[in-house]
Every structure is written in C-alpha cells, then in structure tokens.
Structure 1
Amino acid sequence: MNAYQRVMNRLRGEAVDRPPNFNIMMTFAAHYIGQPLSHYYQDYRVLGDANLAVQAAFDLDLVQTISDPYREAADFGATIIFPEDDLPLCPQPLLAEPSDLGRLKYVDPHSGRRMSDRIAAVRYLRERVGGEVPIMGWVEGALAEAADLRGVSALLLDLYDRPEWVRELLEVCVEVEIAFARAQIEAGADIIGLGDAIASQIAPDMYREFALPYEQRIFAAVHEMGALARLHICGNTTRILPYLPQSGADIIDIEWMVDLKRAAEVFGEYPATCGNFDPVAVLLQATPDEVREAVHKCLQVGGARHFSAASCEVPSGTPPANLRAHAEALRAHGGWVH
C-alpha cells in the first residue's frame, strides 16, 4: 500500500496497513538537506527536494509546500525580509492604517512571485511522486491573512472597533485564498492545508463570524475541484471544537493542549483528527521510547480515522532517531483501530 492509497483509505474508513504519518516539516526539512531557510522559502526546488528527502527518510505519507505565512502578504505588496537562516520578517504591516485598505487590490496567484513559487513547488512534486504520495498545498485562512496584512494586535482591536472594515478586508483576502488554492490544485495538489492560527485567539462567537464562514468558502472551492482539505489552527482550540467540523475540513489538526479524546468524540466519524503529541516536549526533547508511547496514546483515543502527527511543526534540531521511532510505532501498530 503506497502513501496515497493509505491516506485515501483512512479517510474512507477502509483498511490500511498502518495509520498515516502526517507530520508537518518546514525548518527541519530545510536543515535536513543542508539548506538555509532563506533558500527553502524562496526556491521551490529547494523546498521540493527537502520534502522529498524527509518523506523518504521518515515514512511520511505526504509531501508538502507549507513554508511560511507571508507568501500572499508579499504578493499583496508587504515588505518581507529573509535572513539567511532564520524565519522571515515583516517589519511593517502593509495596512498600517485603516485607510490603507483602499489600496489593497486582488492579486493573481500566478503573477505573484511568492505564490507562483509555491504553485511551481506543487508541480515539481507532482512530477516526482504524483499518484504515489499525496501532495499538500497550503493557503492562509482569510482571518490569518488579514492579521498578516494588518498586524495581529491591530486586527484584534479592529474586530471590536471597526468590524465592517474587517469584513471588507476579509472579502479581499478570501478571494485571493480561493484562487491560490485552485491554482495549486490545478498544478497537482491533492490536499490543501489552511492555516488560521489567529482563530485560537478570539472568542467562539467571533470565530463563527470572522473565521468560520471564510474557511467554509475556501474549503467548498477545494472540494469543488476534487481535493481534500486540512485545517490547522495553532493554539488551544478547545472552546471552538464543536464548530471546527463545520469548516468542511476532511482532516483537522489538534494541538497538544487540547483533549484529543474529546475532539474525537465531538467530531464523530468525520472529519479525521490529526495530532496531537507535543512537538517540543515529545519529538524534540523526549527519548525514542517516549515518542513511541506518545504515538500509541494518541492512536488509542484519536478515533478510527486518526492521522498521526506532532500537533504542530517538527522543530529544527529534532533527533532523527525520534522521527524514526514515530514511524516504527506506526508500523508496529499496523491497521488496528481502537
């Protein structure tokens, strides 16, 4: 059974030889092939080669084009700085003042330098492992993109002070994200991941008003094109767990501070849970035996369609032995369903 078959069978509730390994790798992948992060973020070939390398080395069941949250923001016109081997920086929000929104225009993902680079990464991966390993593209959620353009603190105040202005901004963002998702699917993506980290920082009623409807629109477009949807919200989503399945996601990542058993009970048979052991305390800092134990505990409570992964990105510097222990635990588990 190859990775593509394993993932599709898992989502259909059919037999698999082992649970899928859905770890998110970015900085680890770049450093694994000896490349600085600035190259990983800006050259689709480096990103592609890094993902192919870690997929083969650690039995991942996907290759991915996730990198950083600033692809769309850069193409909207934000200034992004790329240190040689560190995370990218946005020194000044593009929408420093509310009046700046009037200058924000729709941008075609194919014409944007950074979005087109991700589209090229999808195509690069498709040429090499298409049909054998699922290819995951990535977009920002509309609210997350609004935060990238406005700044997190300013946007959180805007939700109270000028909600209509926020809705106007979200309309621009969601149209670009839908187009970006479609472009990646056309290039060969089987899955579109959506990051909406800011959604864990707002009240449930605000999530339902300012995040959920836009996640729904993006995922509806993804499904219309025949691809799958993965929702990733960093942080504690306990308060909004009942609403996450309404997004339309097929796979929902659950962070380590959330009760995975409760999430599985709330979600029911569908969507699939993914996660949720701690990427730092377990993958980075624990022993291989402790990794195996954490993987097993998640499989016991995550539900019949559970996807195994650390709850967020695999940190750079994670011992390869711990990643191998994760893969070994899944092989030892086999196709058994709790």
Structure 2
Amino acid sequence: MNSYERVMARLQGKEVDKIPNLNIVMAFAAKYINIPYSHFAADYRYLVEGNIKCCEAFGIDVVTAMSDPWREAHSFGAKIIFPEDDIPYCNEKLIKDYAIVKDLKVKSPFEDERLLDRIRAIELYKKEVGGKYPIVGWVEGALAEAADLRGVSELMMDLILEPEAVTELFEKIYEVQYAFMKAQVEAGADIIGIGDAVASLIGPELYCQYALPYEKRIIQDIHKLGAQAKLHICGNIEPLLEDIAAAGADIVDIDWMVNFEKAVELFKGTRTCACGNMDPVAVFLKGNKEIITREVGKCMAMADEKTLLAAGCEIPKYTNFENLKLMNSMLYI
C-alpha cells in the first residue's frame, strides 16, 4: 500500500497498513536539502525536492505546496519581502482604506508569478510522484487573507465596525481563491488545504458570521472539482469545533492545545477526519524517545478508523531526525 492508497483509504474509514503521517514540513524541508528558505518559497523546484525527500526519509504520506501565506496577497499587489533564510513577509498593509477594494484587480493565477509558482509545483509533483503520494495544494481562507491585506488588529475591529466593507473584501478574495484552487486541482492536486489561522482568534458567533460561510463555499467547490478539502486553523479552535464540523472538510488539522479526543468524537458520523495533534515544539523539537513514544501513543489511543496523525502545526526547522523517524515507526498497525 503506497501513501496515496493509504491516505485515500483512511479518509473512507477503510483498513490500512499504517495510520497516515501528515506532518507538515516547510522550514524543516528547506534545511533538510540544505537551501535557504528564500529559495524554497520562491522556486517550486526546491519546494518539490524538499517535500519528496522528507517523505522518503521520514515516512510522511503527503506532499504539499505550502511555503508561506503571501501568494494571493502578492497577486493583489502586496509587496512581499524575502529574507535570505526566513519566511517571506509584508511590512506594509495593502488595504489602508476600504475605498480601494472595488479597484483591486483579480488576476488569473497564471498572470501572477507567485500563484503560478505553486501551480508549477503541483504539475511537477504530478509528474514525479502522482499516484504515489497525495498532492496537497493550498489557498488562504477569506478571513486569513483579509488579515494579510488589512492587518490582523485592524480586521478584528472591522468585523464589528465595518461588516459591509469586510464582506465586500471577502467577495473579492473569493474570486482569487476560487480561480487559484481550480487551477491547482486541474494541475493535479488531490487535496486543497485552506489556511484560515486567524479564525482561532474569534469566537463562535463571529466565526459563523464571517469565516464559516466562505470555508463552506470553497470546500463545496473543491468537492465539485473532484478533490478533497483540508481545513487548517492553527491555535485553540476547541470553542469552534462543532461549527467547524459543519464546514464539511475531509480533514481538519487539530493543533496541540485542543482536546484531540473531543475532536475525534465530534467528527464521528461526518465526512471529516481529525488530524493531529502533538505539540511541534515540546514533542518534536525538544522531545526525546520517551516523550515521542508517550505522546504518539496517546494520539493513537484516541484515534478512530479515520483519524490521521501529525504535529498540530509545522514541524520546526531544527527537529531531530530521529524523533520524526520514531513517530513514523509507531504508526504501523
């Protein structure tokens, strides 16, 4: 059973030889192939190489096109800075006034170099490992992208004070989101991840008003295109779990501070599989054999026939190789 077969079977609750390992590697992958992170984020060939080599070395069961949250922002006109060996960032808010939203240009994903770079990554994955590993494309959720364009603090205020302006911005974001997601599926993505980390900062009422409708919308579109959907909201989403279950994603990443057993139980009877939820730092970066064995064992004990295992978020750059190997060795059933 290869990784593609394993993950797709697990999503349906079918028998597998190993609980799929969905660890996310970005900075770790760049370091593993000995390149600065600017290369990984800017050139799809390095991103693909790093992911494939980490899958082969550490038993990870998916390859992903993630690198940073600034690709869609770049297509809108944000100026992205690429440190030599760190995550890209933007130090100037694109939307200082909502009056400019109506004039934001929605580019084709093939017209923007950063969107196109991710599409090319998926095409290369399809050529190199299609059918062997599930290929995970990525888009930013509407709430997360709005925070990238407007600023987190400003957006939090706007949700209360300027709801109509926020909704107008979300609609513009959705246009880019849909076209980008569609292009990735057509390029060969089997799964589309939706990164909506900012959603963990708001309560259920605002989540249901702003984030959930757009998550549902893009998840439904992903399914119509024949792919699976993966929702990734870093942080403590425990107050949102019941509402997140209604989004209809195939996979929901559960960060380490969330009650994993509660998530697994809550998703029973739905199409959603819980994925998680070991602490990336305390378990993988700082952990040892005893800690890895204990914490992976805990998650396995909570798992049902559809659960996937991974760190709650990205594997840290300087994680000990042996910790990742030990985790994977424990997942065989």
- TM-score range (shorter-chain normalised) is over 0.9
RMSD: 0.9
Q: TM-score, normalised by structure 1?
A: 0.97
Q: Deviations over 1:255-310 (max 9, x none)?
A: 11110111111111331100001000000001023212211111111322110100
Give the aligned partner of residue 133 of structure 1.
Answer: 133
Give distance in 2, aligned partners of 1:154 and 1:327.
42
Give distance in 1, aligned partners of 2:104 and 2:275.
35
Aligned to 2:246, the other structure's residue is in SS state helix
Give distance in 2, aligned partners of 1:165 and 1:133.
41
Give distance in 1, aligned partners of 2:246 and 2:178.
18
Identity among equivalent positions (%) equals: 49
Give distance in 1, aligned partners of 2:228 and 2:289.
32
Give the aligned partner of residue 2 of structure 2.
Answer: 2
Report 1:316-327 matches (<5 A). 316-327=317-328
Give the aligned partner of residue 171 of structure 1.
Answer: 171
Give the aligned partner of residue 80 of structure 2.
Answer: 80
Aligned to 1:193, the other structure's residue is in SS state strand
Unaligned 5+ residue runs, structure 2? none
Tell me if the contact between 1:272 and 1:303 (Cα under 8 Å) persists in the aligned partners. no
Q: Deviations over 1:159-193 (max 9, x none)?
A: 01100000000001112111111100000000001
The alignment status of 1:148 with 2:140, answered yes or no, reads no
Tell me if the contact between 1:215 and 1:247 (Cα under 8 Å) persists in the aligned partners. yes
Give the aligned partner of residue 107 of structure 2.
Answer: 107
Give distance in 1, aligned partners of 2:102 and 2:174.
16
Q: Deviations over 1:33-70 (max 9, x none)?
A: 00100000000001010011101000111011011000
The alignment status of 1:25 with 2:25, answered yes or no, reads yes
* Deviation for aligned residue 1:24: 0.6
The alignment status of 1:330 with 2:331, answered yes or no, reads yes
Unaligned 5+ residue runs, structure 1? none
Tell me if the contact between 1:79 and 1:90 (Cα under 8 Å) persists in the aligned partners. yes
- Residue type of the alignment partner of 1:311: G
Give the aligned partner of residue 223 of structure 2.
Answer: 223
Aligned residue pair count = 332
Give the aligned partner of residue 48 of structure 1.
Answer: 48
Tell me if the contact between 1:289 and 1:325 (Cα under 8 Å) persists in the aligned partners. no
Give the aligned partner of residue 253 of structure 1.
Answer: 253
- Residue type of the alignment partner of 1:319: N
Q: TM-score, normalised by structure 2?
A: 0.98
Give distance in 2, aligned partners of 1:251 and 1:269.
14
Q: Deviations over 1:78-109 (max 9, x none)?
A: 00100100111201011022222232121211
- Residue type of the alignment partner of 2:235: G
Tell me if the contact between 1:278 and 1:310 (Cα under 8 Å) persists in the aligned partners. yes
Give distance in 1, aligned partners of 2:307 and 2:326.
18
- Residue type of the alignment partner of 2:14: E
The alignment status of 1:98 with 2:98, answered yes or no, reads yes
Tell me if the contact between 1:269 and 1:304 (Cα under 8 Å) persists in the aligned partners. no
Tell me if the contact between 2:14 and 2:305 (Cα under 8 Å) persists in the aligned partners. no
Give the aligned partner of residue 240 of structure 1.
Answer: 240
Give the aligned partner of residue 304 of structure 1.
Answer: 305
